[in-house]
Amino acid sequence: MHNVRRARAGDIPAIMDLLVQVNMVHHNGLPDLFKGPTTKYTADELKKILSDDETPVFVCVDEDDKVLGHGFCVRQHFGGQLMEEVETLYIDDICVDENARGQQVGRALYDHILGYARSLGCYNVTLNVWSCNPGAMAFYEKLGLRPYKVGMEKIL
């Protein structure tokens, strides 16, 4: 049985391990852009993120409260001259521990995030997927997400 809850300071070591795992997926796919085993946040930065309601972080845990995956989110507000005023919940990162994959952890995190976004009255949930991560793309499409904009580049 999986439970999804807001991440706490005690979860930081497990989250740091997951951040290394997700970084290595990106490093293996785009080694010219992503450095080797590292994390995008320090433990101190994570403490600040976890305490900010604008950047909610959720963890999926097992019956022993062991972290199996995380979902980092950012509340965003858009609108103005060209766009309608909307609130979006941006999923910055979903990572499932490589030893827990195939156990519906990612789906549990995503479903919880959707419910959270609905409770805020968000218009939509968005995320980005690197093209070097076709497994993530397939996972998100299976959950019903569809591309709404595409980033392109020319390496010089």
- State the CATH architecture for 3-142: 3-Layer(aba) Sandwich (3.40)
Contact 109, 71 (CB under 8 A): yes
| Residue-level pLDDT at 148 | 87
Domain residue ranges in the chain? 3-142
* Per-residue confidence band for 122, with pLDDT thresholds at 50, 70 and 90: very high
Interatomic CA distance for residues 57 and 155, integer angstroms: 33
Report the share of the chain in percent with pLDDT over 90: 88
CA-based nearest residue to 8, from 34, 47, 55: 47
Using the predicted structure, report yes or no on whether residue 37 has a pLDDT greater than 80: yes
Using the predicted structure, report yes or no on whether residue 136 has a pLDDT greater than 80: yes
DSSP class of residue 14?
Answer: H
Contact 20, 38 (CB under 8 A): yes
Amino acid symbol at 100: A
Residues 54-100: tens digit of each pLDDT: 999 999 999 999 999 999 999 999 998 998 999 999 999 999 999 99
- pTM for this prediction: 0.93
